[in-house]
Structure 1
Amino acid sequence: MSTFERYLTVWVALCIVAGVALGHLFPTLFHTVGDIEMARVNLPVAVLIWLMIIPMLLRIDFSALAQVGLHWRGISVTLFVNWAVKPFSMALLGWLFIGWLFRPMLPADQIDSYIAGLIILAAAPCTAMVFVWSNLTKGEPHFTLSQVALNDAIMIVAFAPIVALLLGLSAITVPWSTLVLSVALYIVIPVIISQVIRKSLIKDGSTVRLERLLAKLQPASLVALLATLVLLFGFQGEQIIAQPMIIALLAVPILIQVYFNSGLAYLLNRASGEEHCVAGPSALIGASNFFELAVAAAISLFGFNSGAALATVVGVLIEVPVMLSVVWIVNRSKGWYEDGAAVSRNSSKRQNAS
């Protein structure tokens, strides 16, 4: 790991501060950049996300995807956490903290809107950023890609019903154009680009040229992550400075939610005997959010200046620092994880089979 990567948390913190400050000082500039969008998907952010995830996707040999069936335990755990636990636990945490404990400290007319924003945030599992987190934990790339693709397919049919159920609405307007375009921009197009490049570089059977390109792209990938943070926090710089106490209160259930779901997925994978390279991305996929869709849905349903929109933005505010802390925990606990009885037993079986 390079010196730059070793201090990634420091750079992230500095970029968050810089983004908020620049957004406050130059709101017109950031509003102009923020308006460069299609179906509520910001195109400059999409390009930066390409730079983040294409180096990860270049490492994936799609001919090996058939092996993902070996990790059925990780797939099952992540699906369970994402769709059977996460939205409902967030609804409970939202009611407990925002609807009860913090109610006296929040605007009374926005309580329900804040809770709605938290639910929308939790109902959309992460897509693009998962490739970054998985790479930082040395996760199994084929598992990560397959799990993200499966989540995308489920999200198309399950997002609206789950949100509608938890919000107590008979129907909900989902920005389908945003969902479809986001999946195309953040998954389909980068996968196509990366595989075309990969095949052109290893057509002679050697991976030397591919490894050289990856060595050059890795720093660009991290710089793109930091630039994305500056943009996202620049977009919301004015609101963040104007409402620090509300943001701090909204962050509490989101923080608990992230650590609860990542810990649950990690422990369930350990109990089932799944490999650490699968348990890491499984825990991260189970905890992170598709914030682009969540923000767009909240704005579409409740308006740009609503409590719901602000709640989803708070999710963006703490997403990267918190997920980096989960990455650190996963990496530091690898020895403990692999000492688990089920993990050791399955590892011995795999060695004997090979």
Structure 2
Amino acid sequence: MSETTTAPNGSVAGRLSLVDRFLAVWILAAMAAGLGLGRLVPGLGDALAKVTVTGVSLPIALGLLVMMYPVLAKVRYDRLDTVTRDKRLLIPSLVINWILGPAVMFALAWVFLPDLPEYRTGLIIVGLARCIAMVLIWNDLACGDREAAAVLVALNSVFQVIAFAGLGWFYLSVLPGWLGLEQATLDVSVWEIARSVLVFLGIPLVAGFATRRLGEKARGRDWYETKLIPRIGPFALYGLLFTIVVLFALQGDAITSQPLDVVRIAVPLLVYFAVMWAGSMALGKTVGLDYPRATTLAFTAAGNNFELAIAVAIATFGATSGQALAGVVGPLIEVPVLIGLVYVALAAARRYFPGSQPLQAPAAGVEEGSARV
């Protein structure tokens, strides 16, 4: 994927390349292809699920690693200190992700699914798994701050290891008991969570950092950003589309055979993504963040770590459980909704953040107007 910028005049979305302008189409096509394969090829989902890494299909794991590596290779790690000093970004992000996010999903799950405990539990698990993977893609597409995204993702990873199991116990056992609601349990170890974080974030993060460090040392930053990055950039999109195809192939039969259940699960998810994204974007503007960092705050708040949620649901309740299905429906809704919010963010940039440069300047030698993905 490549870089983009915007001239003083004209809309951002209008300057996207043909591929990026219709990115939602490619993603929806990938989702349809996965669902079709899962429905039409007998045993495909079972075959993909048998080879696993931390409870997640190995093909999905490979797709996620390919997807995340180019984005993390683009991060300018020497600028991370400017993010870690920005308390207007860090404090709201921690509060939104680890206090408000799980609470909002808990409330929505009980409001919309009071009679479906398996799906409700699955949604609560999704709400506890804060995003450490695809948010990098959405943030990059919306021209958010890459360095800020890297820092917030790292913070989410640390808190995920420390807090996930405790929050699961609180929201599934303690809080329902206090409120006189039906209780559930979540038996997941800290090591299972840490292992997932190490695989899905640690590997591409180390690879991306090493690539930039060695590449700049050997050939300089200009060569790295004008020659190497344009070559490896497209693999993020390839990895994303591959991951989506495999993900939906795994549960294609379950999703297409239970459409009404999928709709019931989808409604609270739609509300969740809209509330979390819009509320976080508004908060970012209120506390004085510029467009790139407000956008990063919004997408890191709205996204969820579906690979961890699915892994936990499968390990705890089984691959064919309602909890696992709810985890799979998460990205079914999240992917098109957050792609739509990318376009909303780009279109709103000039109107709501007139004093801030919404997009990073293109790397030297990259044609202006090509999409930065």
- Identify which of 59, 63, 68 aligns with 1:44: 59
Alignment of 1:48-87 (within 5 A): 48-87=63-102
The amino acid across from 1:294 in the alignment is A
**Cα distance in 2, alignment partners of residues 158 and 90 from structure 1:** 16
Q: What's the secondary structure of 1:88's corresponding residue?
A: helix
Which whole-Å CA distance do the structure 2 matches of 1:17 and 1:172 have between them? 32
Contact 1:21 1:234 in 2 (8 A): yes
Q: Using the TM superposition, give the Cα deviation of residue 51 of structure 1 relative to its aligned residue in structure 2, in angstroms.
A: 1.8
Cα deviation for residue 184 of structure 1 reads: 1.5
Q: Equivalent of 1:168, from 155, 167, 173?
A: 173
Match of 1:182 among 186, 196, 204: 196
Task: Summarize deviations over 1:167-225 as a string: whole Å, max 9, x none.
Answer: 12596311544422221122211122122222222224342244212212222221211
Letter in 1 for 2:97: N
Preserved contact between residue 71 and residue 143 of structure 1 (Cα < 8 Å): no
Query: Is 1:313 paired with 2:328?
Result: yes
Contact 1:139 1:278 in 2 (8 A): yes
TM-superposed deviation, 1:278: 0.7
Does 1:130 pair with 2:148? no
Structure 1 stretch 86-95 or stretch 171-180: which is displaced more? 171-180
Q: How many equivalent residue pairs?
A: 332
Which residue number corresponds to residue 360 of structure 2?
Answer: none
- With over 3 angstroms needed to count, the CA separation of the structure-2 counterparts of 1:323 and 1:280, relative to structure 1, is same
Q: Distance in 1 between matches of 2:121 and 2:31?
A: 25
Residue of structure 1 equivalent to 2:145: 140
- TM-score under structure 2 length normalisation: 0.84
Amino acid at match of 2:119: Y
TM-superposition CA deviations, 1:257-283 (whole Å, max 9, x none) = 011011111011000001110111210
8 A contact 1:40–1:178 mirrored in 2: no
Identity %: 33
Q: What's the C-alpha RMSD, in Å, of the aligned pairs? A: 1.9
**What corresponds to 2:300 in structure 1?**
285
Task: Report the TM-score when normalising by structure 1.
Answer: 0.88
Per-residue deviation, 1:339: 4.2
Which residue matches 1:351? none
Is 1:88 aligned to 2:86, yes or no?
A: no
Which residues of 2 match residues 106-121 of structure 1 at below 5 A?
A: 111-121=116-126
> Is this contact kept in 1: 2:84–2:151, CA < 8 A?
no
Note the C-alpha offset of 1:38.
2.6
Aligned equivalent of 2:13:
none
Whether 1:273 aligns to 2:288 is yes
**Where does residue 158 of structure 1 map in the other structure?**
163
Cα–Cα, structure 1 residues 25 and 338, in superposed 2: closer, same or farther, change >3 Å?
same
Q: Is the 8 A contact 2:70 2:235 kept in 1?
A: no
- Aligned pairs for 1:17-32 (under 5 A) are 17-32=32-47
Q: Counterparts in 2 of 1:182-221, with a 5 A limit? A: 182-203=196-217, 204-221=219-236
Partner of 2:348: 333
Query: CA contact under 8 A between 2:49 and 2:56: conserved in structure 1?
Result: no
Question: Which has the higher relative contact order, 1 or 2, with Cα contacts under 8 A spaced 6 or more apart?
Answer: 2
CA distance in 2, matches of 1:240, 1:171: 25
- Report the CA distance between 1:322 and its aligned residue: 0.8
Residue 2 of structure 1 and its aligned partner are, at CA, apart by 2.6
Of residues 303, 306, 317, the one that matches 2:318 is 303
Change (3 A) 1:332 1:71: farther
Bigger shift: residues 317-326 or 297-306: 297-306
The 1:339–1:207 alpha-carbon spacing in structure 2 relative to 1, beyond 3 Å, is closer
- The gaps in structure 2 that reach 5 residues or longer are 1-15, 175-183, 358-373
Q: Secondary structure at the match of 1:27?
A: coil
Contact 1:41 1:182 in 2 (8 A): no
Q: Secondary structure at the match of 2:169?
A: helix
- Offset from partner CA, 1:65-97 (integer Å, 9 cap, x none): 111134321222221111111111111111111
How much has 1:28 moved relative to structure 2?
2.1
Match of 1:244 among 252, 259, 272: 259
2:196 partner letter? S
The worse-fitting range, judged by mean Cα deviation, of 319-328 and 162-171 is 162-171
**Residue 10 of structure 2 is aligned to residue 5 of structure 1:** no
Give the CA deviation at 1:12. 0.8
User: Whole-Å Cα distance in 1 between the matches of residues 221 and 101 of structure 2?
Assistant: 43
CA–CA separation in structure 2 for the residues paired with 1:123 and 1:192: 25
Give the AA of the match of 2:268.
P
1:63 Cα deviation from its structure 2 partner: 2.2
Please, which runs of 5 or more residues in structure 1 have no aligned partner? 104-110, 345-354
Question: What is the one-letter code of the residue matched to 1:22?
Answer: L
Instruction: Determine if contact 2:119/2:322 at 8 Å carries over to the other structure.
Output: yes
> 3-state DSSP class of the match of 1:304?
coil
Q: Do residues 323 (structure 1) and 338 (structure 2) align?
A: yes
Cα distance, 1:213–1:143 mapped onto 2, change above 3 Å: same
Is contact 1:178-1:293 (8 Å) kept? Answer: no
Partner letter of residue 214 of structure 2?
A: S
1:122 maps to amino acid: G
Name the structure where helix makes up a greater proportion of residues.
1
* Residue identity matched to 2:33: A
